[in-house]
Structure 1
Amino acid sequence: MRARFLLSEVGIGLRRNMTMTFAVIVTTAISLSLLGVGLLANAQVGAMKDYWYDKIEVSVFLCGSLSESPSCSGGVVTSAQRLAIQQDIQEMAAVESVFYESQAQAFTRFQERFKDSAIAANVSADQLPESFRVKLKDPTQFAVIVSAFSGRPGVDVVQDQRSILEKF
């Protein structure tokens, strides 16, 4: 009996104060919608980060004719230095795979990537450095590669694409 009385009083109160009831319902709906959008955006950014994290490579650029790094004071990387760097990369436990990219391959890839840009006509193959593209088993282990190869004779710079994802 008391439940019926309580529900009837709630109904009478809601009918008398229709504007406030409508405002509460609309505010609650908007708040829940914004919460849902925020949760979906967070989940999507996380999924996108995981997807791209697996595709990230570390690039070890070798000294070329235009390199100005202190580790390139000896000039262009020699065949012996290149072979030693490649062997050291392959022997690292954190490395999943290594791909060597010559100046010609780098130039071809550059031309494909920037074919519609005016800058592509102003770049020659000798301006692009040789490099090793290193895929890591765990992309968070970038510091291992940096510490092992930064400043080493024959290595111009070690670049990690992971810094792009750190913004997320």
Structure 2
Amino acid sequence: MAVAAVVAFSGMAAQVVPAGAEPVPGNDREIAVFLCTPSAADCGKRYATAKQRRDVETFLRAMPGVTEVRFVSREASYQALRREFAGKEKVRAKDLPESFRVRVTEAADRRRIATSARSRPGVALVVDQAKQHVEAASPFQLVEVSVLLCMRDAADPGCRHGRGKANKAAATAKEKKAIVAFVERIPGLESYEFEDQKTAYRNFAEMYAANPALVEAVRESDMPESYRLRMRPGVRWGSSRTRLAGMPGVSQVFDYGCRQKGLRLLTEYGLRGIETATKGCE
């Protein structure tokens, strides 16, 4: 089902601010360097020390191609988060990392800067927001939800168990009928459409036209059938999504709006695990 996941997600790249300034997180062309917090991996359950923060700043300023380094405090980041994600009551200011936002010249080696910064003591995560901006701009993200159907011999547990004689088989006509009946009753549904393997492969080939080797390696029979759903903005449908994901014949449900929130929380605020494709969004 690796191809199915690709289809689902793509069937959607120095001046220092004075210490007293409190800039909000910057635009999505910067390199964000998030410092350690107790919950971050490989940080020893500690915040970055003042010395580590100074050393990281000095290191970033000295990197070739760096034109600006801005410090974003934990409080400034928290206030920005509260404005953007008003419903995230469970996120506290102490959960957020401090960060540096780095601007570079067009000729700068962004990968080298990001990789080098990640190796510094006190650094938990480095995100090249220019790269994330390109990925988020996929035209396929216009489809808000993809309901991928079971394929023959799919590895997903929901396709291999609990379906009676249909276990390990492609989604049956009876299962599709039940899925459609459920989808049509989902509150906040604007529209939906069925995408067969032929259409899925055509979209895949168009999306990856610049990578002919990948397109040639994938066959039409590798593509899952799916239902593409559009939901009204702001609709809370977490319980319906969970039920849909557990229906016989459903392999996976990818909620792009939820995924984009998770991506935003990671790349702009350095938060992991707040949102996923099928959990954490109401």
Question: What TM-score comes out, normalization by structure 2 length?
Answer: 0.40
Deviation, structure 1 residue 142: 4.6
Q: Which secondary structure state, in structure 2, belongs to the residue aligned with residue 149 of structure 1?
A: helix
Deviation, structure 1 residue 156: 0.3
Residue 112 of structure 1 is matched in structure 2 by 206
Q: What is the aligned counterpart of 1:126 among 221, 228, 233?
A: 221
Q: What is the identity, as a one-letter code, of the residue corresponding to 1:123?
A: V
How do 1:29-108 residues align onto structure 2 when only pairs under 5 Å count? 38=24, 41=27, 55=142, 57-73=144-160, 74=166, 75-108=169-202
Rounded Cα–Cα distance in structure 1 between residues aligned with 2:199 and 2:230: 18
Relative to structure 2, which stretch is displaced further, 59-68 or 137-146? 137-146
Q: What is the identity, as a one-letter code, of the residue corresponding to 1:122?
A: A
- Comparing both chains, which one has the higher relative contact order based on Cα–Cα distances under 8 Å and sequence gaps of 6 or more? 1
Deviation, structure 1 residue 164: 2.3
Deviation, structure 1 residue 39: 8.5
Change (3 A) 1:113 1:142: farther
Q: What is the identity, as a one-letter code, of the residue corresponding to 1:144?
A: S
Rounded Cα–Cα distance in structure 2 between residues aligned with 1:139 and 1:58: 14
Change (3 A) 1:40 1:76: closer
Q: Which secondary structure state, in structure 2, belongs to the residue aligned with residue 82 of structure 1?
A: helix
Q: Give a deviation string over 1:55-74, Cα, whole Å, max 9, x none.
A: 45111100012521122123
Q: Which secondary structure state, in structure 1, belongs to the residue aligned with residue 221 of structure 2?
A: helix
Instruction: Tell me, yes or no, if structure 1 residue 163 matches structure 2 residue 263.
Output: no
* RMSD of aligned residue pairs (Cα, Å): 3.2
Question: What TM-score comes out, normalization by structure 1 length?
Answer: 0.65
Q: Based on CA coordinates, which of the two structures has the bigger radius of gyration? A: 1
Change (3 A) 1:39 1:112: closer
Structure 1 residues not aligned, in runs of 5+:
1-29
Residues 197 and 220, structure 2, Cα contact 8 Å, conserved in 1: yes
Rounded Cα–Cα distance in structure 2 between residues aligned with 1:62 and 1:86: 12
How do 1:5-16 residues align onto structure 2 when only pairs under 5 Å count? none
Q: What is the identity, as a one-letter code, of the residue corresponding to 1:99?
A: E
Number of aligned positions between the proteins: 132
Q: Which secondary structure state, in structure 2, belongs to the residue aligned with residue 166 of structure 1?
A: helix
Residue 243 of structure 2 is matched in structure 1 by 148
Q: Which runs of 4+ in 1 moved over 2 A?
A: 37-42, 138-142, 164-168
Q: Give a deviation string over 1:76-104, Cα, whole Å, max 9, x none.
A: 10112112211210121221111111111
Q: What is the identity, as a one-letter code, of the residue corresponding to 2:188?
A: A
Higher helix share: 1
Rounded Cα–Cα distance in structure 1 between residues aligned with 2:232 and 2:243: 16
Deviation, structure 1 residue 141: 2.5
Structure 2 residues not aligned, in runs of 5+:
1-16, 28-79, 85-132, 161-165, 265-282
Of all paired residues, the percent bearing the same amino acid is 23
